[in-house]
Amino acid sequence: MAPNDRRCVSCRRVAPKSAFLRIVRLHPTHTVQLDQGMGRSAYLCPTAACLEAAQKRDRLSRMLKVKVPASIYEALWQRVQSPPAPVASTPARGDTPPIASPASLGSQAASSPAAKPGTSPACEQSAPQSRSPK
Ligand SMILES: [Zn+2]
């Protein structure tokens, strides 16, 4: 085991510590935080499986000999669910409203007989009348 190798508290996998999430119990306040700080440390694979196992058995609390607050687990879940990004301040929230998908629209149009070209007198005639004049 190399000097920089650490062990995951869940699956016992050994890897360089840069490959793990680090949870630190600060000295001497015993505050628990992530990534940085002097104190007792626990390491966890950045995977949902290892985080879930650690949370179920409260392995981090045991390893650090202090109760790990829920906020720490929440922060860890955010790390696991989002891919590791060097720049952490990039909100990747795309606007994708849950409207009908193009696939369902296409199937509706294909199955509708009124969609045939040249056979739509009712629609074209009623459309101008329903418009409000300016
Ligand atoms: Zn692991």
Q: What percent of the chain clears pLDDT 90, i.e. is strictly above it?
A: 57
Q: Region 44-59: what's the mean pLDDT?
A: 97
What is the Å distance from ligand 1's center to 11 Cα?
4
What is the Å distance from ligand 1's center to 125 Cα?
67
What is the Å distance from ligand 1's center to 113 Cα?
57
- Provide the residue type at 15 as one letter: A
Confirm if 8 and 41 have CB atoms less than 8 A apart: no
What is the Å distance from ligand 1's center to 52 Cα?
10
Q: Which of 1-10, 76-85, 99-108 has the lowest mean pLDDT?
A: 99-108
Instruction: Indicate if the pLDDT at residue 104 is higher than 60.
Output: no
What is the Å distance from ligand 1's center to 91 Cα?
27
| Greatest mean pLDDT range, 57-61, 84-88, 101-105 | 57-61
Q: Region 16-26: what's the mean pLDDT?
A: 96
Domains of the chain: 5-81 (3.30.1230.10)
Q: Region 56-84: what's the mean pLDDT?
A: 92
Closest to 73 in 3D by CA, of 57, 93, 52, 89: 52
What is the Å distance from ligand 1's center to 18 Cα?
13
Residue 81 has a pLDDT of: 85
Q: What percent of the chain clears pLDDT 70, i.e. is strictly above it?
A: 60
Query: Which one is predicted more confidently, 50 or 101?
Result: 50
Instruction: DSSP for 55-87, please give it.
Output: HHTTHHHHHHTSPPPHHHHHHHHHHHHS---SS
